[in-house]
Amino acid sequence: MKFRMFMKFIIISAAVAVFTAYTEVPAAAEAVFLKDGSIIDGTIISDAASSVTLRLADKKTKQIPRSDIMRILYTELKMGKIYIQKRDGKGVVAYMVDEDRESYTFRM
């Protein structure tokens, strides 16, 4: 009886291992913010000193020169809206693109 249970365990474990090995896990997506204001979503497949290569949602690749990149965001924070009240009392809705100790950069 114990041998039969042990064999079931081995067979199930092997099946799970094979299934896991051949199941494609989607990679996390990054957002590349360009200096011209556009945003390119994809998965970084190559990160060199002069350029970054992304795999886009349609499985094509795109190489972007580092000189065109303002920031690479590794989370989905860009999706959240930020409500900003300006000094003149008017409010705007924007998305934060970059921040440092002295300034914030938004896109509208």
How much is the average pLDDT of 38-59?
Answer: 91
Of the candidates 99, 54, 92, the one whose C-alpha atom is nearest the C-alpha of residue 77 is: 99
Helix-then-strand count for the chain, H and E: 1, 8
Average pLDDT over residues 86-107: 81
pLDDT tens digits for 60-93? 999 999 999 988 888 765 556 788 888 898 888 8
**For 75, which DSSP code?**
S
Residue 28 has pLDDT above 60, yes or no: no
Tell me which of 74 and 51 has the higher pLDDT: 51
Q: Judge whether 34 and 52 are in contact, CB under 8 Å.
A: no
Adjacent-strand bridge partners of 94: 82
User: pLDDT averaged over the chain?
Assistant: 80
| DSSP helix/strand/coil, 16 | helix
**Where residue 21 falls among pLDDT bands split at 50, 70, 90?**
low
pLDDT at 15 over 60: yes
Would you say 50 and 77 are in contact if contact means Cβ atoms under 8 Å apart?
no
As beta bridge partners, residue 30 has 42
Chain position carrying tokens 């190559």: 46
Fill in the DSSP letter of residue 4.
H
Which of the two residues, 55 and 19, has the higher pLDDT score?
55
User: Domains, the chain, ranges and CATH?
Assistant: 25-107 (2.30.30.100)
